């Protein structure tokens, strides 16, 4: 990564504005997935060991510039305290006298979590005065919020205009892994794309058609490609206005004889009631049925195509993985990638990482990204505003 990190700056006794992505959900007071919190721990511990005074800034959800109690950062701070094994302080605001006094009172190694920064509409509007108010809380800016690095928000790009700004260890790791997929991958290179919307994946498909050796397309986005092949997908989720885009990708792939574009040949379908679930060829989908997962033969095709790959990036589940029995394709893909002994495997996107976690193989994937949109943007070869705002190495 061509940016400075926390290793390149003196932090002792300095107040550090640490932007993280703790956009997590709670149910009945219990956190559903603390992956993003755990991934930030190495940076926090390194800052503590350096004697920094740590002011943590994060958003939660989309409160629309209003205070929404259910989206407070207080329960996040309480869970972070358990992970760190020491007390984490909180305040009821992210700017102003209370936040300023709490930040100033921190001793070296102590941690303060500010209230949800999106309680202010100025955050998403990248308001200069709001960014300056946030910057007053610290002496140094550290970004570990890879999940929001594609957003030009006040706490992401505005604050770095006022403070020396460097990357945290998570940001560094995310960028290094994802950049290696497009800049200098160990070949051959495989790409697995799923999820619901073709529009979100078109750029990466077109971009990597020039460099990938295998592209496997599943999930809801595969349905639009099937329609482009003249296949009737019944009542399945599809984007008819993107059929020409799918044609364009297939034509581009066809111009490279060394590129394999693999689409489903069998799928798991269900009727509207959900009472009938069966597996059929993509050519035999009844009118009132929906495709909800890839079938076993498609799974075999994907795995056979991907097995020789030395680098594999996966973004987007293979089906409606939140519900059985439509989780099989995603879970099988996760287990398959985990069992490749020599390949570098990179998983991007919250749903995809959740599928990997459900499969119980997160620790056997080379890198599970904390950012969906940001990881896609990097894989598309586009820059991230939150990364560009940091000091060059």
Per-residue DSSP letters for 26-90?
A: EETTEES--HHHHHHHHHHHHHHHTT-EEEEE---S--TTS--GGG-SHHHHHHHHHHHTS-EEE
Cβ burial of 304 (10 Å; 0-12, 13-18, 19+) is exposed
Query: Does residue 58 lie within any of the structural domains?
Result: yes
Q: Among residues 153, 173, 193, which one ends one of the domains?
A: 173
Burial 183-211 (b: 16+ CB within 10 A, else e): eebeebbbbbbbbbebebbbebbeebbeb
Query: Does residue 225 lie within any of the structural domains?
Result: yes
124 with 145: CB under 8 angstroms? no
Q: 241 is written with which tokens? A: 């206005």
Same domain, 11 and 87: yes
Same domain, 117 and 213: no
Same domain, 193 and 283: yes
Query: Does residue 1 lie within any of the structural domains?
Result: no
* pTM of the complete model: 0.87
Number of folded domains in the chain? 2
| Domain containing residue 214: CATH number | 3.40.50.1260
* Alpha-carbon distance values, 22 to 72, 178, 210 (Å): 11, 21, 35
Query: Does residue 385 lie within any of the structural domains?
Result: no
Same domain, 355 and 208: yes
Q: Known catalytic residues? A: 36, 197, 350, 373
Same domain, 205 and 328: yes
Please tell me the predicted confidence (pLDDT) of residue 258.
92
321 with 330: CB under 8 angstroms? yes
348 with 325: CB under 8 angstroms? no
Local confidence pLDDT in tens for the 393 residues of the chain: 899 999 999 999 999 999 999 999 998 889 988 989 999 999 999 999 999 999 999 999 999 999 999 999 999 999 999 999 999 999 999 999 999 999 999 999 999 999 999 999 999 999 999 999 999 999 999 999 999 999 999 999 999 999 999 999 999 999 999 988 888 889 999 999 999 877 778 878 888 888 899 999 999 999 999 999 999 999 999 998 999 999 999 999 999 999 999 999 999 999 988 899 999 999 999 999 999 999 999 999 999 999 999 999 999 999 999 999 999 999 999 999 999 989 999 998 778 988 999 999 999 999 999 888 888 888 888 889 999 999 999
Same domain, 306 and 328: yes
Query: Does residue 393 lie within any of the structural domains?
Result: no
Backbone φ and ψ for 205, nearest 5 degrees, come out as: -60, -50
Pairing status of strand 214-217 against strand 189-193:
parallel
**Measured between alpha carbons, how far is 17 from 165 in angstroms, rounded to an integer?**
9
Same domain, 127 and 203: no
Please tell me the predicted confidence (pLDDT) of residue 186.
92
**Measured between alpha carbons, how far is 388 from 377 in angstroms, rounded to an integer?**
13
Same domain, 196 and 68: no
Same domain, 269 and 169: no
**Measured between alpha carbons, how far is 133 from 43 in angstroms, rounded to an integer?**
24
Same domain, 63 and 138: yes
Same domain, 226 and 84: no
Please tell me the predicted confidence (pLDDT) of residue 338.
97
Please tell me the predicted confidence (pLDDT) of residue 196.
83
Q: Among residues 121, 150, 173, which one ends one of the domains?
A: 173
Query: Does residue 223 lie within any of the structural domains?
Result: yes
Query: Does residue 355 lie within any of the structural domains?
Result: yes
Same domain, 231 and 368: yes
**Measured between alpha carbons, how far is 11 from 164 in angstroms, rounded to an integer?**
11
3-state helix, strand, coil in the chain (%, to 5): 40, 20, 40
Query: Does residue 301 lie within any of the structural domains?
Result: yes
**Measured between alpha carbons, how far is 126 from 158 in angstroms, rounded to an integer?**
6
Q: Which domain covers residue 339, as residue numbers?
A: 185-379
264 with 282: CB under 8 angstroms? yes
Q: Among residues 138, 173, 208, which one ends one of the domains?
A: 173
**Measured between alpha carbons, how far is 214 from 201 in angstroms, rounded to an integer?**
16
């Amino acid at each position: 990564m061509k940016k400075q990190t926390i290793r390149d700056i003196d932090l002792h006794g300095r107040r550090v504005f640490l932007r993280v992505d703790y956009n997590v959900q709670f149910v009945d007071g219990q956190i559903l997935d603390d992956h993003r919190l755990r991934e930030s721990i190495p940076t926090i511990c390194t800052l503590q060991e350096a004697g920094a005074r740590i002011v943590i800034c994060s958003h939660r959800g989309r409160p629309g510039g209003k205070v929404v109690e259910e989206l407070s950062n207080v329960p996040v701070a309480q869970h972070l305290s358990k992970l760190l094994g020491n007390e984490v302080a909180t305040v009821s605001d992210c700017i102003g006298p209370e936040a300023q006094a709490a930040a100033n009172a921190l001793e070296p190694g102590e941690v303060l979590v500010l209230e949800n920064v999106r309680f202010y509409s100025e955050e998403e509007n990248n308001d200069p005065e709001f960014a300056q108010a946030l910057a007053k809380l610290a002496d140094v800016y550290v970004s570990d919020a890879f999940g929001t690095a594609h957003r030009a928000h006040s706490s992401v790009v505005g604050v770095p205009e006022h403070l020396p700004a460097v990357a945290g260890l998570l940001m560094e790791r995310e960028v290094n892994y994802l950049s290696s997929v497009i800049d200098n991958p160990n070949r051959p290179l495989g790409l697995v794309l799923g999820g619901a919307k073709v529009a979100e994946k078109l750029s990466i498909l077109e971009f990597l058609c020039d460099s990938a050796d295998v592209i496997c397309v599943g999930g809801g986005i595969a349905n639009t490609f099937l329609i482009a092949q003249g296949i009737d997908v019944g009542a399945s989720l599809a984007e008819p206005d993107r059929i020409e885009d799918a044609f364009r990708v297939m034509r581009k792939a066809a111009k490279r004889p060394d590129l394999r574009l693999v689409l489903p040949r069998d799928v798991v379908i269900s009727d509207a009631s959900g009472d009938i679930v069966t597996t059929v060829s993509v050519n035999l989908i009844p009118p009132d049925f929906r495709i909800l997962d890839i079938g076993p033969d498609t799974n075999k095709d994907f795995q056979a195509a991907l097995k020789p790959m030395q680098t594999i990036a996966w973004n987007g589940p293979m089906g409606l993985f939140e519900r059985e029995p439509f989780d099989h394709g995603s879970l099988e893909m996760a287990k398959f990638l985990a069992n490749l002994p020599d390949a570098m495997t990179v998983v991007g996107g919250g749903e995809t990482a959740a599928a990997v976690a459900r499969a119980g193989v997160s620790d056997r994937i080379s890198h599970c990204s904390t950012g969906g949109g940001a990881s896609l943007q990097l894989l598309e070869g586009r820059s991230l505003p939150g990364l560009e705002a940091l000091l060059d190495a």
